[in-house]
Amino acid sequence: MADEAKKSNSNAKGGGKKKEVKKETGLGLSNKKDDNFGEWYSEVVVSSEMIEYYDISGCYILRPWAMSIWETMQTFFDAEIKKMKIKNCYFPLFVSPGVLQREKDHIEGFAPEVAWVTKSGSTDLDVHIAIRPTSETVMYPYYSKWIRGHRDLPLKLNQWCNVVRWEFSHPTPFIRSREFLWQEGHTAFATKDEADAEVLEILELYRRIYEEFLAIPVIKGKKSELEKFAGGLYTTSVEAFIPNTGRGIQGATSHCLGQNFAKMFEINFENEKGERQMVWQNSWAYSTRTIGVMVMVHGDDKGLVLPPKVASLQVIVVPVPYKDANTQAIFDACSATVNTLSEAGFRAEADFRDNYSPGWKYSHWEMKGVPLRIEIGPKDLANNQVRAVRRDNSAKVDIPMANLVEKVKDMLDDIHQSLFDAAKKKRDACVKVVKTWDEFMEALNQKKMILAPWCDEEEVEKDVKARTKGEMGAAKTLCSPFDQPELPEGTLCFASGKPAKKWTYWGRSY
């Protein structure tokens, strides 16, 4: 328990036998989600003990409360890609400038954000060395070396690592940081069909991370030419939406790189007929950004709300002793409850600290977003029951000890589903279908996620960006959803008036 209680407060320092009991009110957030979203977010990630701000701007400390969420997703994803026979490896953090600049479009996309090492100790380096912003150019010279014949394909590697993008605008914990953790998969195939299939298989894993673990609805789709990965053939993504800011957020991307990098890095193989061919490549990644999206979507004015699947603590048990009650019996019942739940595979702990009131503990664990709180007082003890309180909707249920495991399982499952449903309802309420420029601008001003018929021309997207430029940032395409509504013959593009080719989501974005 001790390291769950790092928040500085005068009571934790109190040394006397009789401690001053902290009032619940002292724990709350000073910002409200709907009033002041940006400040609310910064406050939640710090107060829930997920993040500590660091003395270098744009860098953040991931504390255990955040790291355990990352580890849970990592365990799932790593097992899934191993089933796909993708193997883990580790390539260096450093890239030499020559290699970094080999693919022109690619480096143009990343150059302004690259951090450069120019000194070691007090010695200037002869050649400056870049820190990887992503590893295409780090890895592919070696793919060229390792791939010779068709039997060397597919080559499917992944790495879990840190990358650095020295961004200057609006650093935000998890969402936009100068260093972040991610996985990056890099695969090479003999045929485009195999590459295409893998792009979607990985994208489905990303959907599952968001929907099955983080309880966040996402839209699968394809990025526009302007928004696709620099140097790639096409980019697919899962897109989430933050109703409070009216901004879309790219949740994870699965790129087909086509043969462009293969050409630049000379990644060739001899096929079964003895002909020299270029490989087809994919790369795909998701990052610690996922955790930020989760905070933004589910958090409330009491703090963090954790979906049960990723909560490092799913159930917190709080003893509620009364003056005349048998305190030891209550504590024993709490321990027994934790044991029963732990043995059944739940992540449960009891908060036995004697210098905090039950009310303070309720607020503390609500701030930290624990999905279910179990309270045990004299009455519960007498009735051989516990009181369970849901974090997401504050609903209270008395559970007979005999049904504990079964009921807790049901409640946690229900919390996941409720979080997902509530998020989906909110997200769906923000989706606005428009067909004209005026409707588009009105919806944009209302912070909507806009679904509009589009001619799919790069110049038109550039034009929309230019026309919507402003303090809030320009609107751009989020994705063209795979799940396309019907597009009646003769439908025109909302922006250009040309024949529309597809429905596309537009909006401001992170």
Token output for 326: 């048998």
Q: How far is the CB of 65 from its own copies (least distance, A)?
A: 9
Pairing of strands 431-433, 449-454: parallel
Q: How far is the CB of 119 from its own copies (least distance, A)?
A: 4
Q: How far is the CB of 190 from its own copies (least distance, A)?
A: 10
C-alpha span between 92 and 408 (Å, rounded): 45
Closest by CA position to 188, among listed 220, 227, 149, 131: 149
Pairing of strands 60-62, 51-53: antiparallel
Residue placing its CB nearer to its own copies in the complex, 147 or 205: 147
In three-state form (DSSP H/G/I as H, E/B as E, the rest C), the secondary structure along 203-244 is HHHHHHHHHHHCCCCCEEEECCCCCCCCCCCEEEEEEEEECC
What type of residue sits at position 209? I
Residue placing its CB nearer to its own copies in the complex, 125 or 402: 125
Residue placing its CB nearer to its own copies in the complex, 121 or 488: 121
C-alpha span between 175 and 296 (Å, rounded): 10
Q: How far is the CB of 102 from its own copies (least distance, A)?
A: 12
Q: How far is the CB of 333 from its own copies (least distance, A)?
A: 23
Residue placing its CB nearer to its own copies in the complex, 88 or 384: 88
Residue 503 contacts residue 452 (beta carbons within 8 Å): yes
Cα distances (Å, whole numbers) of residue 154 to 2, 47, 176, 189: 49, 46, 33, 5
Residue placing its CB nearer to its own copies in the complex, 161 or 336: 161
Residue placing its CB nearer to its own copies in the complex, 116 or 482: 116
Q: How far is the CB of 6 from its own copies (least distance, A)?
A: 4
Residue placing its CB nearer to its own copies in the complex, 174 or 284: 174
What type of residue sits at position 293? V
| Lateral strand order in the sheet of 396-400 | 348-350, 315-319, 372-376, 385-390, 396-400
Q: How far is the CB of 66 from its own copies (least distance, A)?
A: 8
C-alpha span between 316 and 339 (Å, rounded): 12
Q: How far is the CB of 185 from its own copies (least distance, A)?
A: 13
C-alpha span between 377 and 386 (Å, rounded): 8
Residue placing its CB nearer to its own copies in the complex, 54 or 437: 54
